[in-house]
Amino acid sequence: MLLWRHHLFERKIPLSNILNTFLTENLAELRNQGLYNEIDPVEGPNGPKIKIKGKELVNLSSNNYLGLATDEDLKKLAIAATEKYGVGAGAVRTINGTLDIHVELEKKLAEFKGTEAAIAYQSGFNCNMAAISAVMTKKDAILSDELNHASIIDGCRLSGAKIIRVNHQDMDDLRAKAKEATESGLYEKVMYITDGVFSMDGNIANLPEIVKIAKEFDLITYVDDAHGSGVTGKGKGTVKHFGLEKEIDFQIGTLSKAIGVVGGYVAGSQDLIDWLKVRSRPFLFSTALPAGDVAAIMGALDKITASTELHDKLWENGNYLKEGLAKLGFDIGVSETPITPCIIGEEKLTQQFSARLAEEGVYAKSIVFPTVAKGKGRVRNMPTAAHTKEMLDEALAIYEKVGKELGVIS
C-alpha cells in the first residue's frame, strides 16, 4: 500500500495541452518578472519570532497585531469550547449550525462596534463577497477607492453593480463622482466603499469628510476595517476613532488579524443584519465557524475592551520601528498606523531585498504586483504588541546591513 502511494505521488498528473501551455508559460513569466510568490511554511506558532527551515527569524510579516494568536488564555477557551461543542458546527447557520455561542458572539461584536446588531462569517474575505452582493445589484453603482482590498473588488464585481473607481483618498474626486452618479438617474442606489486602514500603506480613510459627502448625496457608506479593528480607536476601530458609529451603514471587520483567530463580521442596523441572514450567500451556504474559534474570539474581544495595554504596546513598537527605519533612510511612505512599508520599487530588487533580510534573520515578506502597482514593490513590516525592543533593534541592524549592501540606502 505504501509503495503504491509513493508511485502515485511521483507520477505527474497529465493536463490538457492548452492548460499545460498556459501554466508553463505564465509561471515562467511571473518568475522572470520577480512576481512569483514563494510560500514559506512556519514551523510552530506565528509569534514575534518564527522558525522557517529550522532558522529563527524576527517576524515582521504577521497580521497578529496584538499577539493574541498565541495567547495562552485564548487557547484554553478554545479547548474548553471544543470539548463542549465539538470540532465543527455541523451545518450552515440557517439549518442547525447556529450554536448558542454564535448568538453570544454576534451580540458581543455589535457592542464592540457600537451598532444594533452584527453577523459573523467564516472569513473577512467572505464578508465582502456576502454583504456587497446582498445589497447592491446591476441597477446600482458603487464608488470604490482605487486602493481597496481585493475582497472588496471581488464583492463589487459579484454584485453586478456599476463600479466607479475613485482616486485614492481624493475627496474632490469622490464628491464629483458621487454628484455625477446620483444626478444621472441611472442608478437606484449608490454606495461608497473604502478600507478603514489601507493595508499596503498604513494610512487611514478620511471618514469625517466621507460622511459629509455621503449625506450630501445620500450614499450608502461601507467601511472595511480589517486592519483597523484592534488597532485604531483604542482598539474599537477606525469608525470609533472618528466617533462615527451612528453614521456608517456597514462596518466590516476580520477576526483573524488583531483578534488573532479566524473569521469576519458585518456590523450595522438590525434590519441590515436581518437582511444579510436571509440574502448573503456565504451565510446561507457555508458551515458555521467552529465553537472553539468562537470562544477564542470572544476572549480576545474581552481582552481588547478591558484594557488598552496591548493596543498601546502595539503603537509604541510601531512608532519605534518606523522612526528607526526612517532614520536609516528608508522610504516608509505615509503610514499613519503601525503598518510600516519599506518601498523599494523594482520587483526583482524588492524580492532580493526580502530574501537577504531572511538570510540575515528578519522575515519581512516582499509585496509586489498585483497586490501593489508595478514599480511600487515594498517590504511591509508589521510590528506587534508581542515584539520586544531588543527584537526590533535586531531587525533594524539587519535592515541597515542589507539596505546598504543592495544600495537601497546609502
In whole angstroms, what is the distance from residue 277 CA to residue 61 CA?
34
> For this structure, is 199 an active site residue?
yes
Return the number of other C-beta atoms located less than 10 Å from residue 263's C-beta. 23
In whole angstroms, what is the distance from residue 107 CA to residue 89 CA?
19
Residue 188, classed as helix, strand or coil, is coil
Burial readout 230-249 (b: 16 or more C-beta within 10 A, e: otherwise): bbbbebbbbbbbbebbebbb
> For this structure, is 227 an active site residue?
yes
> For this structure, is 7 an active site residue?
no
Catalytic residue among 123, 144, 199, 229: 199
Strands (E), 255-299: 264-268
Catalytic residue among 177, 240, 257, 387: 257
DSSP string, 196-231: SB-TTT--B--HHHHHHHHHHHT-EEEEE-TTTTTT
Catalytic residue among 162, 227, 322, 365: 227
By CB atoms closer than 10 A (0-12, 13-18, 19+), residue 205 is: buried
| Residues designated catalytic | 199, 227, 257
